[in-house]
Structure 1
């Protein structure tokens, strides 16, 4: 049988050998570049010793803004009633509204008859009604 230079066997042998060489070269190059980058990072971090940054504490949130136990429906109700934590009208706030429920002895926040969840005394909503004495 004649040796055919265009046979399938010769083609596969030739290109598998070339593919193996290229894959090996790519692996070696990537490994050497990664190790060079790692060495550079170590050197730069040791030469630029900076004191560690202080942890920044998040601002203390008001307990009356914690809605973690409030259902999504009730939160939506608060939005529809235009409840805000700080009144835009100085003489109209939750603590002087007929619908406001004062806080219990050991609680900092009150409530509202229209929706569930904590309410700030200095909050406001569109259904504010003055207390009639």
Structure 2
């Protein structure tokens, strides 16, 4: 018996193992622990108070991007606010503002380390 794998068989088995790993990871994430459920249960309470602080619909990547630019909902530098930043997207229909750098709602009084003075 010849147990040597040819390239085609190797790639086929390697691909199947990759698909199985992704599937298992997705299943484990979907059936996550109690800690995630507690955070999810608390998120709607925050959104009821102020919809511009509700990040419950964002992905982990979205949240990480917000963290990478050190976004805060209330600036400590009065002359540097989201609503006077070049990257700020004005709210539509009285809703929450946004940012060109990351997803999700942005408060007008917020700030991030990528703040740029509004030129217009």
TM-score, scaled relative to structure 1: 0.53
Tell me if 1:126 matches 2:113.
Answer: yes
Tell me if 1:103 matches 2:91.
Answer: yes
CA RMSD, Structure 1 to Structure 2 (Å)? 1.6
Deviating beyond 3 angstroms after TM superposition, the runs of 4 or more aligned structure 1 residues are none
Secondary structure of 1:83's aligned partner: coil
Number of positions where the alignment pairs a residue of Structure 1 with one of Structure 2: 75
Give the deviation of 1:61 after TM superposition: 2.2
How far apart, in 2, do the equivalents of 1:100 and 1:84 lie? 14
Secondary structure of 2:111's aligned partner: coil
Gaps of 5+ in 2: 1-44
Going by fraction, where is helix more abundant, 1 or 2?
A: 2
Which residue among 101, 105, 108 is the counterpart of 1:114? 101
TM-score, scaled relative to structure 2: 0.59
How far apart, in 2, do the equivalents of 1:119 and 1:71 lie? 16
Larger Rg: 1
Gaps of 5+ in 1: 1-57
